[in-house]
Structure 1
Amino acid sequence: MTSGPIGVFDSGVGGLSVARAIRQRLPHEDLLYLADTACVPYGDRPESWIEARSAAIAELLVHRHAKAIVVACNTATAAAVRSLRARFEVPIVAIEPAVKVAAETTRAGVVAVLATTRTLSSENFRRLQGLFGEGIAVFAQPCPGLADRVEAGDLSGPATRGLLEKYVRPAIACGADTIVLGCTHYSFLTGLIAEIAGPHVTIVDPAPAVARQLERRLTETRVIRSVVPISHLDECEPKGTDRFLATGPIEHARRMITELWLADGACRHEVEVEFVAPVRR
């Protein structure tokens, strides 16, 4: 099992922000990323549909020998993570809005959470508020259409800026000094959010915390890939591989995955995307 890849999935390309954090923290692990671009977004779909779809995707990843699965979608976490953990034996790590970190970070006592309507209306989000929201005000801001702008490749255009101003400015007006990115797509809009929110607002992205939790779970279950230095410079080989799957049109998926995965220049190899069609058995 140590040689299997880490399976990561999201409704679309937003979960690449989590996969990039994993790649940075675990450079020698293989990654298998699935973007469910045929069905994006999940935010307005019925919970039962999201649960069934997540199970089908997880089954596909396990069939491809994934030794762990990362649910890189807040909406899928809220709807499906419990049933996934009950059904599959591999470690399952999931993302959720970082209310705890925000509560520890805020100075004003006001925290804004930007997320999909489904995430903010979920029992999981209410649980997070109950556990970590005591003593602070949580401004829950649904952001319809924002993930769609990222899927379309519009990371800074007028339409995207207009939506962000509509969603961010009311939170700032209410005194929020900390903004939680409650959707993985929003990580790719961090610069624009910071520009609109101003320099005194802290933006909390949970992706690095997910990567740390994944490392802990791989270590606990003894499936983390051990690497032996092969030179006096302590350069370790082999480096992990990156494979990408998409359920929708391949050309658009390839263009978006390439743009977002290679954005910071950390990875410069060619991106290949394979079409898949998860089927629930």
Structure 2
Amino acid sequence: MTPTSQQRPIGVFDSGIGGLSVLRALQAELPHERFVYLADSGHAPYGERGDAYVAARTHAITRYLQAVHGIKALVVACNTATAAAIHEVRTQCPDLPLVGLEPAIKPAVALSQTGRIGVIGTRGTLTSGKFALLLGSLQSQAEFVVQPCDGLAYAIERSTEHAVPDAAESSEVRELCTRYIAAMGTFGTAAGHIDTLVLGCTHYVFAEEELRALIGPAVRLVDTGEPVARQTRRLLQATGLLADPGDEIPAACDRMQLITTGSLLPLQAAAQRWLQLPARCCSTATVPADGAGAMVHEANRALAQ
């Protein structure tokens, strides 16, 4: 039976597993919706590649999710891809409801009491023209300490390859967090201290424990998951595409299909660890430059059974 417009899935993608933090927020906000999540791990990390490369992957994945999965809306759960390509996707797909990410510095300004705000993210995000415009619009309202965190997203990605964190991989995440937080200055609630830290990459939510240990309990951590989920709900309501709340909530793997262009096992481990999803909800795909020609390798689901 052909699904109605409301029953079609929402597409969500990121360069890797970081966008699962956004997917988790979407799942909580929209319990009756179906989702197709694509981790482009075979072409990561985005944050240390050029805009042209990231834009090409964004266009290919958008075409793939439309052609193969018939998505009704797209959440670009990647700050780097949003900065590099979302304006082009809006132009090329004017009928596709689209939600992108940007570092949550606007909410941070409202939360900060000292007026000194830290922002961590990938170099691709923090050196983008889109971020420069956002930061410039708020410079008069707060002082921002901006810190690119080369290698951190990739280290977090590797640290989730096992349901139980590997000691060496966890140590690498801690060491990188320690290095970058130390470079930013003093955190705390006293005058002149950084009292709010913006997580400008979806991966960083999965290093919250390490970051919290470094900045202390009083500093606010701000990420984009919940605001993006609320914006997605508003957009679906405005376009008449919100799933019927009277419908039965789908079973786990009917509701959440997770796909990777890289190795399957890391996505399965991350899905189990962060979303409590069985490994059978995950599969692999090849998403070539033309996007629509991708082949989903459903046989990989057998590894979980």
- Give the TM-score of the pair, scaled to structure 2: 0.84
Contact 2:268 2:278 in 1 (8 A): no
User: Post-superposition shift, 1:194?
Assistant: 1.1
The match for 2:116 is: 110
3-state DSSP class of the match of 1:152? helix
The match for 2:250 is: 239
The match for 2:274 is: 260
Contact 1:114 1:140 in 2 (8 A): yes
Contact 1:153 1:256 in 2 (8 A): no
Higher helix share: 2
Contact 2:271 2:278 in 1 (8 A): no
Q: Deviations over 1:197-233 (max 9, x none)?
A: 01221000111000000000000110000122xxxxx
User: Post-superposition shift, 1:269?
Assistant: 4.4
- Any gaps of 5 or more consecutive residues in structure 1? 229-235, 263-267
**Which of 179, 195, 199 does residue 181 from structure 1 map onto?**
199
3-state DSSP class of the match of 1:160? helix
The match for 2:9 is: 5
3-state DSSP class of the match of 1:70? strand
Listed as ranges, the matches of 1:193-232 within 5 Å are 193-228=211-246
3-state DSSP class of the match of 1:112? strand
The match for 1:166 is: 179
3-state DSSP class of the match of 2:99? strand
Q: Deviations over 1:137-193 (max 9, x none)?
A: 111100011111111126682221111111113324272110000000001111221
- Alpha-carbon RMSD across the aligned residues, in angstroms, is 1.6
Closer/same/farther in 2, CA of residues 271 and 137 from structure 1, 3 Å limit: farther
3-state DSSP class of the match of 1:274? strand
User: Post-superposition shift, 1:270?
Assistant: 4.6
User: Post-superposition shift, 1:124?
Assistant: 0.9
State the number of aligned residues: 269
Contact 1:100 1:133 in 2 (8 A): no
- Distance in 2 (alpha carbons) for counterparts of 1:205 and 1:172: 20
Listed as ranges, the matches of 1:49-68 within 5 Å are 49-63=53-67, 64-68=69-73
- Distance in 2 (alpha carbons) for counterparts of 1:104 and 1:252: 37
- Distance in 1 (alpha carbons) for counterparts of 2:117 and 2:287: 38
Contact 1:102 1:180 in 2 (8 A): yes
Q: Which moved more, 1:45-54 or 1:156-165?
A: 156-165
Q: Deviations over 1:96-149 (max 9, x none)?
A: 100101111111111111100110000111111122232311111000111111
3-state DSSP class of the match of 2:103? coil
- Distance in 2 (alpha carbons) for counterparts of 1:6 and 1:119: 24
1:37 and 2:41 equivalent? Answer: yes
Write the letter of the residue equivalent to 2:234: R
- Distance in 2 (alpha carbons) for counterparts of 1:194 and 1:44: 25
- Distance in 2 (alpha carbons) for counterparts of 1:217 and 1:201: 32
- Distance in 2 (alpha carbons) for counterparts of 1:73 and 1:238: 27
User: Post-superposition shift, 1:271?
Assistant: 4.0
Q: Which moved more, 1:100-109 or 1:246-255?
A: 246-255
- Distance in 2 (alpha carbons) for counterparts of 1:101 and 1:27: 25
Give me the identity figure in percent. Answer: 36
Write the letter of the residue equivalent to 1:3: Q
- Distance in 1 (alpha carbons) for counterparts of 2:265 and 2:37: 16
- Any gaps of 5 or more consecutive residues in structure 2? 187-191, 291-305
- Distance in 1 (alpha carbons) for counterparts of 2:72 and 2:48: 30
The match for 2:284 is: 275
